[in-house]
Amino acid sequence: MNSLTRFSGLLLAAALPLTALADLPEERIEPSINAELAEHTKVFNKQIYKVADNVYSAVGWSIANSVMIVAPDGLIIVDAGESVEESRKVFAEFRKVTDKPVKAIVYTHFHPDHINGVKGFVTEEQVKSGEVQIYAHDTLLENVVTQGALVGPILGMRSAYTFGAMLNAADRKDMNGGIGPIAVGGASSFIPPTITFKQQLDTTIAGLKVQFRWAPSEAPDEIVMYLPDNRVLISAEVDQGPTLPNIHTLRGTKFRDPVLWVNSLDLLRSFNAEYMVPLHGRPVTGQDKVEEVLRMTRDGIAYIHDQTVRWMNKGLTPDELVEKVKLPPHLAGYAPYLREYYGTVKHSVRQIYQGYLGWFQGDPVDLDPTPPVEKDKRLIGMMGGRDKVLLAAGDAYLKGDYQWAAELAGYAIRVDHEDKLARDIKARSFRKLGYAQMNINWRNWYLMSAMELEGSLGEEQSLALAQRLRGTFLSPDMLKNLPVNIFLQNWVTRVDPDQANDVQLTLGFSFPDIKEEWALEVRRGVVQLHQGIPAGTTLKLTLDKTYLDTVISGENSLLKGAVLGDVKVDGSLLDIKTFLGCFDFAEAPLALTVR
C-alpha cells in the first residue's frame, strides 16, 4: 500500500464530520540513514595511529581522541576522553606500546568529551603528590564550573537532543557523532589543572620540549601543543576534524567568534608543521597537506562569516541570510573537512547575525508580539479552524513537503499540547526530515523531537535524562572543586519573585577552614552576592567548605546541618527559613518541542 492510499482517509475527511479527524492511517516509517553520513562513520573505526616516532592518537573509542606522547622520561596524555570506562580501554591500548609512567595530562579545553575520562589515565593521588601535572588554560576551571552550575539543567537536556541520547538501536545503526563515534557516556571524573597559562607556555615535560599556545576558537580556552623536535602539532579543536566546523552548536553556547577562530587557524599555519593531530578524526601527514587542511578550513569559516556580514550590511535578516550565504563548490565539496556532518552553514549564519546584532531584526512588530498561543489561535481561526489546518498539513506531508507539514501541525500543538493528530503529523514529518539528514545535529534533533511528540519521551523520562546529562557537565568530582562564590552565585538566578518580592534579608556564610566569608542579600525579588559579610547582618551560617561540598553533592542540606550541629546558626531560624524559601531549586521536566 503506497503512502497516498494510506493517507486517503485523511484526505477524504474534508467531507466528513470534523470529529472524524481523530487519527492518521497506519504507516511504518523505516529507519534509514543518509548514505554519505553512513560512509563517514568509517572514518572513526577504532585504531591507534602512530605519528612521527613518538605520538599515538586513539581514534574511535570516544567522540574525542586521546593522544599519547612518549617523552624521554614518561608519557604525556593529551585529552582524557568522555568517560572513565572508555579512557581505561584507550590506556590499555597505549600500554601495548609502552609501559612508561604518565607524567602529564593536557586538557585542550573544558568540554566534557576532553576531560571527563581523566581518572582512566591517572589517579587523584598521583596529581596531588606531584607525580603527574595537569596542564590547561587558566580559565578552564572557571569554564567547567560556570557551565555546569549556571545553565546545567537546560544545557543537559539540549545536549541530550543534540547527541540523540535516547534514540533506539535502529536509529543509531551506522551512525556517528559527526566528529567522532557516537558518544557512549559513562562515569565522569575530573581533576583540576595544576599548571595553567594565559597566552603561551614554552616548557619541558618529561624531558621533551613542548610549546603551548592559546588559540580561542571552538572553545574560549582552547590550547594547542607543538613539539618542535619532530614538528608535530596537536591542533585540539581549532581544526575540528573531518567536518565543517560547528561555528554554532545547537545545544547552546556563548558566541563563537569566527574572526578569532580564523586567526587561531592562521596561528596553526604559522608552525609549518609536518604532522597535525586533531582531537577529532585522523592525523594529517605532510607539511603541504597540513597547510591545505588548515587553509581550506579557515577559508570556509571566513567565507561564511564575511558573506554573512556583507549581506547583513545590506539589511538581510537571518531567514533571508540562510538562503543567500552558501559555500562555493570548491569549499562545500572539500571532503571531509568542509562537509556538513557536524556544523552547517545555515545554523552558523544565524548565530553570526545574533552575535553581532542580537535578536531584534529591525521590524518593531517583534518588540511586543502577540503571545504565541493567542497568535496561533487567531491564525487557526482565520484558516478555517483546526481541522482544515491539519488537512492542509496532511496534504503537505503526502506531497513530501515535510517542513510545511510540521509548521502547520505546530500551530495546533501550541493551542492544544494533547492534539494527537497534530503531534502525529509533526512527528512523522520530523522522522522523514531526520532520516534524510547528512548532519548529525539536525538528524538527532528531528528524531528526538519526534520521540517527544510520539509520547515516548515524556515528563518523567525527560527529567531523568536532563539530570543524567547534567552530570556530564557537572560531575561529583567537579562539584568538589566548585568555589563557594560560584555555588552562591547560582542562587542569584534561582530567586523566586513570588516568594521574595516582599523580603529584605541578608544571610552571611562563614567558612573558617578556607577563611572566606560571603553573603547573599535578598532585596525584594533581586539577589546580590557580597564578598564578605556586610556590617549589621544578623543572620549567619558558619560551616566548613568540606560540609558545603556535601550539600552541593546532595548528600546533606543546610537545614540538616543546622539540626545536627555541622552548621552553626546565628539569628532567627524563622528568618532563615523565610530567606531559604525565596529560592527555587526544584527540577522541572523540560519540553523542547511540545510547547
Query: In the chain, where are the structural domains located?
Result: 3-32+367-462, 35-357, 483-580
Average pLDDT for runs of 10 along the chain of length 595: 39 39 75 98 98 97 97 98 96 98 98 96 97 97 80 84 94 97 88 97 98 97 98 98 96 93 98 98 98 98 98 98 98 98 98 96 95 96 96 94 98 96 97 98 98 88 74 79 86 93 95 96 95 95 92 84 91 90 85 90
Burial status of residue 16 (CB atoms within 10 A of its CB: 0-12, 13-18, 19 or more)? exposed
What was the pLDDT predicted at 35? 98
What was the pLDDT predicted at 1? 34
Homologous superfamily, domain 3-32+367-462: Alkyl sulfatase, dimerisation domain (1.25.40.880)
Burial status of residue 56 (CB atoms within 10 A of its CB: 0-12, 13-18, 19 or more)? buried
Distance, first Cα to last Cα, the chain: 34
What was the pLDDT predicted at 575? 92
User: Which set of grid coordinates corresponds to residue 504?
Assistant: 529584605
Which numeric CATH code is attached to 35-357?
3.60.15.30
Helix (H) or strand (E) holding 578: helix 573-580
Read off the pTM: 0.92
CATH of 483-580, one of 3.40.50.620, 3.30.1050.10, 3.30.200.20, 1.10.274.30: 3.30.1050.10
What was the pLDDT predicted at 13? 42
Q: SS3 for 540-555, per residue?
A: EEECCHHHHHHHHHCC
Q: Is the peptide bond before 318 cis (omega within 30 degrees of 0)?
A: no
483-580: same fold as 3-32+367-462? no
